[in-house]
Structure 1
Amino acid sequence: MSEVVTYSREQSVGVITVNYPPVNALGHAVRSGIQSAIQQGRDDADAKVLLIVCEGRTFIAGADIREFGKPLQEPALPDLINDIEATDKPVVAAIHGTALGGGLEVALGCHYRVAVPSAKVGLPEVKLGLLPGAGGTQRLPRLTGAQKALEMITTGDFVAAARAAELGIVDEVVGSEDVRAEGLAYAQKVVAEGKPVRRVSELSDKLEAEKGSAVFEQFREGLKKKARGLIAPFKCTDAVEAAFTSASFADGMKRERELFSELMASDQRAGLIHAFFSEREVSKVPGLAKDTPVRDIKSVGVIGAGTMGGGIAMNFANVGIPVRLLEVKQEALDKGLAIIRKNYENTAKKGRLTMEQVEERMSLITGTLSYNDFADVDLVIEAVFERMDVKKSIFGQLDGVCKPGAILASNTSTLDIDEIASATKRPEDVIGLHFFSPANVMKLLEIVRGEKTADDVKATAMQLAKRIKKVGVLVGNCHGFVGNRMLHKRGAEAMSLVDEGATPQQVDKVLTDLGFPMGQFAMGDLAGIDIGYSIRQERRKAGEDVAPSWMDKLAEQGRLGQKTMAGTYRYEEGSRKPIPDPAVDELIAEFRKEQGITAREVTDQEILERCMYVMVNEGAKILDEGIAYRSLDIDITWIYGYGFPAYRGGPMFWADQIGLDKILDAVKKYHNEVGGKQWEPSPLLEKLVAEGKKFGDL
């Protein structure tokens, strides 16, 4: 008998208790323990019914991620579930917390399922590029029918207990949260009422009702847009369809395993699992002790009530932290607060908030025109225009107003945190908190450490990211930090490619075909062309040699992107769809003429290499300089801040899969053909290729 699974009997109920903290994951000890306990229950003549229940905060919450990539130890999960289902005594699963993935599949192998009111169930394997491989695609549709099974399995979304009962996934939602007592009561009812063994695999009424229907064809059509570029949702659909088309349950299971094996071997599965583990690893900062103290953040000040400042304020109000929002003029403040209210009310219209919650959150955001109202806040975040002189002036004022120990943060996307900190007498309290637009939606928070930023400020920022439901990545200080430093290199190549003969829409299509939600130029229109223009102007003022750009001409003509209905593309009222504009083609042609450039044909492959390999080369330089601690920090920054497709694992993981030797050869080629510092091969990239290593080996 396994130490993490025990068997006992209470009256006529054989109780199988799983206790494997923290989430009772289906590790080898749990699988073998349940198998042994099931056999013990079969052999126990006084046990008329068996109950599977879990200790701790949850039912079985899925596979044990500690076993990922290791050789499988028997029993395999499908075999264990078949053993449970084949038992000739009724088996009841009592669910609390979450029954996810293999945990729900175990429950589906039981003959009856009960859940406490707060429980949730789901099959989230698709989020790791997989499908439920232990019968989930075959048993679930026998209970719910095709449509709901397809929705649950292809999205991986959870279903609350009450809804699970409506769908037939659980037989009863019990009256209290005492899962053990309620499970025992239900099991005793099974005995008292003489309920039979009921095997889900033998149910056929839902299958017969939908055989030959068009549901699968229609569902695949919908997936083409919702799951663009992904393999797993389509394989999941194939597996569910097998439940309806196979001659037997065993044949359906065989098809499920074939499809599961195909996904296990796919690059997308590798990318998604890398992203999954990296998101968890990124919060563990090298060199920052786990027991580093953190400062208590009970109130926050935000400077600037524009789109960014308002979005930042919402993040804190959403988790109950009071915010003071500062503007220089009442009109701007009123406008900002009105937009915040409108955003919340739109969310309420979609059913994701109540109007009471809208009012609660709005009551936490207080407008002000005076810096003096920041005297007692614990954190101030500046979110104004990207100009060093403006930011230093603000930080000078904050230094004189804010209490000792208050954290002073800049939302700058590119500027030198140390220079900003130099405007204060407390550089140890200064840090960058780079939110991404829209700040109340985007998950990334790029946390920029200055040379003198105190460890407790870094630790506080990382903890705060989790508190406001962001993925925090701690990075070093340089122009553009990690994300924008790489983006600027890609942007410069994209503009050069258009200079040389490509069209903006051709460049964008190569990037969206790779899996980005939008291309370089459509993204520029969304962010605002004036932002990039302002950054280039600031660099020119600082004496940098920044080449002229046809995008400067767009900004100077007032074509600032979506907000002016015209940028690189034009836009129609009420639509964000970019439409190619002949006027921009003419502007680009005129720019080429001014610069003495003769347009040439540019291939999609060249666009892919120049836009992506320049990023990889820059990422290697960022690692070499210690701006990012690990390649996974870069990957998570790009997945959550810039829309890099998670199924490709991030730019550095993607580069490992492409082959660093191939990328280095291309970098050297473009260094010779195109020139420029961006194509100077990274010493780290050269070193890794020479040693036959990958970024993931660092």
Structure 2
Amino acid sequence: MPVHTLFQGSLCLITLDTPPVNVIGLETRVGLVEALDAADAAGVQRIVITGAGSAFAAGSDTREFDSPPLAPHLPDILNRLERLPSIAAINGVALGGGLEIALACRMRIAAPGVALGLPEVTLGVVPGAGGTQRLPRLVGIASAAALISEGRRFTAEEALRMGIVDAIDADPVAAAKALPEAALADVLPASARPAPVADPEAIAAARARAGKRAKGQFAPQVALDLVAASAELPLPEGLARERAQFLNLRRGPQARALRHVFFAERAALARAKRFSVPPRDLKTAVVVGGGTMGAGIAYALDGIGLAVTLVETGTEAAARAEANLGKLFDDAVKRGKASPEASAQGKARIAVVTGYDALPAADIAIEAVFEDLAVKREVFAALDAALPETAILATNTSYLDVNEIFAGTRAPERCLGLHFFSPAHVMKLLEIIRAGTTSDETLASAFGLAAKLRKIAVEAGVCDGFIGNRILTRYRQICDVMLIEGALPWQVDAAMLGFGMAMGPYAVQDLSGLDIAYANRQRKNLRNAQGLRYIPVADRMVEDLGRLGHKTGAGWYDYGEGAPTPGAGVQALIEAASREAGITRRAFDAEEIRQRALTAMIDEGLRILDEGIARRAADIDLVLLHGYGFPRWRGGPMCEADRIGLPVLRDRIATYAKADPLSWSVPPLLQRLAEEGRSLADLDHEGG
């Protein structure tokens, strides 16, 4: 049963029990109604609500959000509960609807350290069972506005200071049972408390923060409207308005996209448990290369308790590596994440050595040197000789063939790619690249390591660029096609910022360095590639103008003391390339730019999925969201594909292909799914 009822004299103990975290679905709501009916019939003088196991209730069952709401509805149940002498004994996590149950109780007693919060805005909705109306009556407009619009979790101790909970006790159920009758009678439920005092300045400040943190998202601003209205509307009217907004938002595209991401992330986190063998417990690590990436990886591994040795080629390089590591530990102190003493201890923990002669028998070795196949093969030859055959060997390559990197290595089943994103200790994405020989134990161990690092790990097969960089290459290529046909870099960037991307593609290139992408194009010899429309503009930026981006103060943009400005000579170079190609330039509006760029990402993603490079469409979305600045509230390019409709995309690409057959063709997977009337979500569901 999802709800248990126990009568002890004049007390009724109601326990929510839907393991593992007591989500609130239809059966729980029905059980709550039956429990309240039984308590009413028994004439109890006190109701205590708690959760089974280690959770109070972790929110509503979001799987129901794609279907029409079914009675009994949680707001109606809580309106009834609020009229009864009830105490929430918060034994564990209480989020969303779980916290709203507690807010409807007359009192709240929490166990030490438990997490509470109203995170609905992170799923594209607002609290729908009284959170925006009851919380302001307990803590005031300013605190409620911040907590609800940010959707952040907070501890029981913070909740006590703010007035959300009334007490903290190691056994909240026993404390609720022992509470004197007079103490319970003296407490007013939220419905009987005065409306909060209006605070337009606090609302405006919260709006500004939400505009920066959740740019383009509707839910935080709607939530703030509701919180502000709690100061003016009678509670029943405020609750009715909140419910209407909740239902309206949950039907919308942003909420659907954010739910898609929520389930995709949950599936990714569970990936390590799906292998036939358990992950190894990794305790010692070697990192080769002490540049920005290598230092970040070493710092991250140290942070989860691995004993780390960092390898460099000589004394000067080792000194630079120590400086890079030191900066990371010093920055942690500046951000308040570590004490000076802890920082000093961290610097001392990571051993920086030169050469491979005296390496410890590490459980894993990760290479983070520059993108050169010969150099990487030399590194792994040295590691192969220096470490036991049981050591996992991982390359951090962004593009290169993992199978070629490890060719000739002993025990090839322990070899794979671990593509970290810079800065490695901050970015959440980790592409785990399965080589042709990688064993399940090695993959499971990599996913286990990712979980300890609190990263979103996605498995990818071997191809040039894997998932993320392969799509990035295609995206940039189509943007370059638009340049030579009539668009300008700053127009493309503005259009993609308007779409919600964290940065435009040309600003990103300036940040990473135009020489990086240039070297990759030279490696692939795109200038002479067959069946590909080569656009010379980006190469000429490097070769003719010597503009390399931020590092030289000049790339697609000029960088001075103020905001970046369009780069001197860039437009002239682009226009000259158009003339040489015999192209009459035309105007592109923002919508056409966005549509073409997004379609390019989707097109390449479909090919990656069809080739088996990615296992699930949702995995491709996670890579673009966590590694490339794709707006979370759009769900990722493959989620966007389903929203647009696969037949629409097929026809759109076919139209593009007629005008530019070297750049476009309909992906076979898209053709098949459109003909069969299936979606990418269907494909993921069928794949398990």
The TM-score with structure 1 as length reference comes to: 0.92
Indicate yes or no: 2:631 matched with 1:645: yes
Indicate yes or no: 2:114 matched with 1:129: no
Give the whole-Å Cα distance in 2 for the aligned partners of 1:225 and 1:111: 36
Letter in 2 for 1:630: R
Letter in 2 for 1:231: F
CA contact under 8 A between 1:242 and 1:255: conserved in structure 2?
A: no
Structure 1 residues 402-460: Cα deviation after superposition (integer angstroms, max 9, x where no partner): 21121111111111111112141332221111111111111110111111111111111
Residues 105 and 289 (structure 1), Cα distance of their counterparts in 2 relative to 1, 3 Å cut: closer
Q: Which residue of 2 aligns with 1:611?
A: 597
Structure 1 residues 234-286: Cα deviation after superposition (integer angstroms, max 9, x where no partner): 1111221221222x111111111121122012100100001101111234559
1:326 Cα offset (Å):
1.4
Give the whole-Å Cα distance in 1 for the aligned partners of 2:620 and 2:631: 13
CA contact under 8 A between 1:315 and 1:468: conserved in structure 2?
A: yes
Moved more, 359-368 or 74-83: 359-368
SS of 1:582's equivalent in the other structure is: coil
Moved more, 491-500 or 47-56: 47-56
SS of 1:282's equivalent in the other structure is: helix
The TM-score with structure 2 as length reference comes to: 0.93
Give the whole-Å Cα distance in 2 for the aligned partners of 1:130 and 1:200: 22
Indicate yes or no: 2:476 matched with 1:476: no
1:361 Cα offset (Å):
3.2
SS of 1:341's equivalent in the other structure is: helix
Indicate yes or no: 2:559 matched with 1:562: no
Residues 16 and 379 (structure 1), Cα distance of their counterparts in 2 relative to 1, 3 Å cut: same
Give the whole-Å Cα distance in 2 for the aligned partners of 1:241 and 1:563: 47
1:169 Cα offset (Å):
0.8
Write out aligned runs for 1:489-504 (5 A): 489-504=474-489
Letter in 1 for 2:189: R
SS of 1:404's equivalent in the other structure is: coil
Give the whole-Å Cα distance in 1 for the aligned partners of 2:349 and 2:33: 53
Indicate yes or no: 2:349 matched with 1:364: yes
Indicate yes or no: 2:89 matched with 1:91: no
CA contact under 8 A between 2:78 and 2:129: conserved in structure 1?
A: yes
Letter in 2 for 1:15: L
1:596 Cα offset (Å):
5.2
Indicate yes or no: 2:73 matched with 1:76: yes
SS of 1:244's equivalent in the other structure is: coil
SS of 1:371's equivalent in the other structure is: coil
Structure 1 segments of 4+ aligned residues over 6 angstroms from their partners: none
Q: 1:113 aligns with which of 95, 108, 111?
A: 108
Indicate yes or no: 2:191 matched with 1:198: no
Indicate yes or no: 2:372 matched with 1:387: yes
Q: Which residue of 2 aligns with 1:526?
A: 511
Residues 159 and 692 (structure 1), Cα distance of their counterparts in 2 relative to 1, 3 Å cut: same
Structure 1 residues 4-57: Cα deviation after superposition (integer angstroms, max 9, x where no partner): 422232x65432233332112213333333333334334445x53222222311
Q: Which residue of 2 aligns with 1:446?
A: 431
CA contact under 8 A between 1:111 and 1:198: conserved in structure 2?
A: yes
Q: 2:146 aligns with which of 121, 135, 151?
A: 151
Residues 690 and 548 (structure 1), Cα distance of their counterparts in 2 relative to 1, 3 Å cut: closer
CA contact under 8 A between 1:320 and 1:364: conserved in structure 2?
A: no
Write out aligned runs for 1:14-25 (5 A): 14-25=12-23
Give the whole-Å Cα distance in 2 for the aligned partners of 1:597 and 1:304: 46
Structure 1 residues 515-552: Cα deviation after superposition (integer angstroms, max 9, x where no partner): 11101111112222222111111112997458363322
Residues 541 and 241 (structure 1), Cα distance of their counterparts in 2 relative to 1, 3 Å cut: closer
Structure 1 residues 559-608: Cα deviation after superposition (integer angstroms, max 9, x where no partner): 332233332223236x8x54322233344344445555543323333322
Give the whole-Å Cα distance in 1 for the aligned partners of 2:671 and 2:535: 32
Give the whole-Å Cα distance in 2 for the aligned partners of 1:572 and 1:201: 57
SS of 1:295's equivalent in the other structure is: coil
Give the alignment's Cα RMSD to 1 decimal. Answer: 2.4
SS of 1:245's equivalent in the other structure is: coil
Residues 222 and 462 (structure 1), Cα distance of their counterparts in 2 relative to 1, 3 Å cut: closer
Q: Which residue of 1 aligns with 2:160?
A: 165
Residues 510 and 548 (structure 1), Cα distance of their counterparts in 2 relative to 1, 3 Å cut: closer
Indicate yes or no: 2:49 matched with 1:62: no
SS of 1:86's equivalent in the other structure is: coil
Give the whole-Å Cα distance in 1 for the aligned partners of 2:539 and 2:434: 32
Give the whole-Å Cα distance in 2 for the aligned partners of 1:633 and 1:663: 20
Indicate yes or no: 2:674 matched with 1:692: no
Give the whole-Å Cα distance in 2 for the aligned partners of 1:644 and 1:403: 41
Q: 1:228 aligns with which of 215, 222, 245?
A: 215
SS of 1:386's equivalent in the other structure is: coil
Give the whole-Å Cα distance in 2 for the aligned partners of 1:18 and 1:245: 34
Residues 364 and 181 (structure 1), Cα distance of their counterparts in 2 relative to 1, 3 Å cut: farther
1:498 Cα offset (Å):
1.4
Give the whole-Å Cα distance in 2 for the aligned partners of 1:70 and 1:662: 25
CA contact under 8 A between 1:96 and 1:118: conserved in structure 2?
A: no
Indicate yes or no: 2:34 matched with 1:36: yes
Moved more, 261-270 or 29-38: 29-38
Q: Which residue of 1 aligns with 2:175?
A: 182
Give the whole-Å Cα distance in 1 for the aligned partners of 2:625 and 2:103: 34
Letter in 2 for 1:48: Q
Indicate yes or no: 2:612 matched with 1:626: yes
CA contact under 8 A between 1:7 and 1:37: conserved in structure 2?
A: no
Indicate yes or no: 2:258 matched with 1:272: yes
Give the whole-Å Cα distance in 2 for the aligned partners of 1:354 and 1:183: 39
Give the whole-Å Cα distance in 2 for the aligned partners of 1:26 and 1:194: 26
Structure 1 residues 374-419: Cα deviation after superposition (integer angstroms, max 9, x where no partner): 4511111111111111112212222222211211111111111111
CA contact under 8 A between 2:198 and 2:228: conserved in structure 1?
A: no
CA contact under 8 A between 1:294 and 1:459: conserved in structure 2?
A: yes
Write out aligned runs for 1:352-431 (5 A): 352-431=337-416
Give the whole-Å Cα distance in 2 for the aligned partners of 1:297 and 1:182: 43
Give the whole-Å Cα distance in 1 for the aligned partners of 2:370 and 2:6: 65
Residues 48 and 71 (structure 1), Cα distance of their counterparts in 2 relative to 1, 3 Å cut: same
Letter in 1 for 2:210: L
Residues 622 and 51 (structure 1), Cα distance of their counterparts in 2 relative to 1, 3 Å cut: same
Give the whole-Å Cα distance in 2 for the aligned partners of 1:21 and 1:284: 17
Structure 1 residues 93-122: Cα deviation after superposition (integer angstroms, max 9, x where no partner): 122322110011000000011222212211
SS of 2:641's equivalent in the other structure is: helix
CA contact under 8 A between 1:522 and 1:578: conserved in structure 2?
A: no
CA contact under 8 A between 2:66 and 2:251: conserved in structure 1?
A: no
Give the whole-Å Cα distance in 1 for the aligned partners of 2:639 and 2:589: 25
Letter in 2 for 1:7: L
SS of 1:301's equivalent in the other structure is: strand
Give the whole-Å Cα distance in 1 for the aligned partners of 2:16 and 2:207: 39
Q: Which runs of 5+ in 1 are unaligned?
A: none
CA contact under 8 A between 1:387 and 1:538: conserved in structure 2?
A: no
* Identical-residue share of aligned pairs (%): 40
Give the whole-Å Cα distance in 2 for the aligned partners of 1:26 and 1:182: 25
Give the whole-Å Cα distance in 1 for the aligned partners of 2:33 and 2:291: 59
Letter in 1 for 2:26: H
Give the whole-Å Cα distance in 2 for the aligned partners of 1:436 and 1:400: 28
Residues 363 and 67 (structure 1), Cα distance of their counterparts in 2 relative to 1, 3 Å cut: farther
Residues 296 and 682 (structure 1), Cα distance of their counterparts in 2 relative to 1, 3 Å cut: same
CA contact under 8 A between 1:25 and 1:63: conserved in structure 2?
A: yes
Q: Give the count of matched residue pairs.
A: 680
SS of 1:372's equivalent in the other structure is: coil
Give the whole-Å Cα distance in 2 for the aligned partners of 1:596 and 1:71: 56
